[in-house]
């Protein structure tokens, strides 16, 4: 892994990424690049490999082939990836999961402060101050001393977003962030994401929220069977998809 100064306008690049589970190929030779400040929505039927692709970006899944570059830091599949490389790459990437994954044995404040202390070496006061600022921003400052179990799903997801943002990532990954939530509750999470997008955060969002994909994203990527079917401006993809498979998928989700 080395710093790459020529590509500083590209935040994320995936080159010919292949991921297999045994004989089953989940990601089949996918390339994708994301510019700084761009918001990408990845849509497609379940089993298309959307989440796996997203998880390859921060190496929660280690690809079998290809190269991942995030903010100039490369990792090549097939080579020995050192812990240092992993940490350096992940330093720039925040991730939000479908199931929130807050730490249930810590208060909301500790959830956000502890990673800052451990990963960035911030002092307790510094970390707490930053945590409170982020909690205010997502509208949950009053929950600081509560345990996550006392918060609704939508609140937990907003806390999870705050926890990721506290580490000052340059890129945010969202893995179906509203899929575990009631539609109404999902809206408060989407509102936070819209705000983040408006502030220029680079975002890759795997989602079934077509409205969000259409309104907020700069580019929609349609995946099926481990490959990218098509990608483009949301207006084009939603109104005039190039592929039959995309049309079939969109009809299925939009006409529900």
Nearest approach in angstroms of CB 133 to another protein is 18
Nearest approach in angstroms of CB 251 to another protein is 33
Nearest approach in angstroms of CB 73 to another protein is 13
CB closer to another protein, 167 vs 192:
167
CB closer to another protein, 103 vs 238:
103
How far apart, in whole angstroms, are the C-alpha atoms of residue 103 and residue 105? 6
Nearest approach in angstroms of CB 60 to another protein is 6
How far apart, in whole angstroms, are the C-alpha atoms of residue 149 and residue 147? 5
Nearest approach in angstroms of CB 85 to another protein is 12
φ, ψ for residue 228, nearest 5 deg: -85, 120
Non-local CB neighbours of 220 within 8 Å, separated by 6+ positions: 40, 41, 42, 43, 213, 214, 231, 232, 233, 234, 237, 238
CB closer to another protein, 119 vs 129:
119
Residue whose token pair is 């490389």:
85
CB closer to another protein, 94 vs 226:
94
Binding site for another protein (CB under 8 A): 58, 60, 83, 87, 90-91, 93-95, 97, 99-105, 114-115, 118-119, 147, 149, 160, 163-164, 167
CB closer to another protein, 43 vs 165:
165
How far apart, in whole angstroms, are the C-alpha atoms of residue 256 and residue 248? 13
Nearest approach in angstroms of CB 218 to another protein is 24
How far apart, in whole angstroms, are the C-alpha atoms of residue 64 and residue 16? 10
Helix locations, the chain, DSSP H: 50-57, 83-91, 108-115, 124-137, 153-165, 183-198, 210-216, 234-239, 244-254
For residue 44 the two structure tokens come to 């497609």
CB closer to another protein, 33 vs 146:
146
């Amino acid at each position: 892994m080395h710093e790459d100064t020529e590509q500083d306008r590209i935040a994320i690049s995936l080159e010919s990424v292949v991921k297999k589970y045994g004989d089953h190929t989940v990601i089949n030779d996918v390339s994708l690049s994301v510019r700084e400040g761009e918001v990408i929505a990845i849509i497609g039927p379940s089993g298309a490999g959307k989440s796996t692709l997203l998880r390859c970006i921060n190496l929660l899944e280690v690809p079998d082939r290809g190269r991942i570059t995030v903010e100039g830091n490369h990792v090549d599949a097939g080579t020995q990836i050192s812990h240092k490389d992993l940490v350096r790459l992940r330093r720039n990437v925040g991730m939000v999961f479908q199931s929130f994954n807050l730490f249930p044995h810590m208060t909301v404040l500790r959830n956000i402060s502890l990673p800052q202390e451990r990963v960035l070496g911030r002092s307790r006061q510094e970390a707490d101050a930053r945590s409170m600022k982020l909690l205010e921003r997502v509208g949950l400052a009053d929950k600081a001393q509560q345990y996550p179990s006392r918060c609704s799903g939508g609140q937990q997801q907003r806390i999870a977003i705050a926890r990721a943002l506290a580490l000052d990532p340059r890129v945010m990954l969202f893995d179906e962030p509203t899929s575990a939530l009631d539609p109404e509750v999902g809206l408060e999470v989407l509102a936070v994401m819209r705000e983040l997008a408006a502030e220029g955060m680079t975002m890759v969002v795997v989602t079934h929220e077509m409205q969000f994909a259409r309104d907020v994203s700069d580019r929609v990527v349609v995946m099926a069977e481990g490959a990218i079917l098509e990608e483009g401006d949301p207006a084009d993809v939603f109104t005039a998809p190039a592929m039959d498979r995309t049309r079939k998928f969109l009809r299925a989700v939009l006409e529900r």
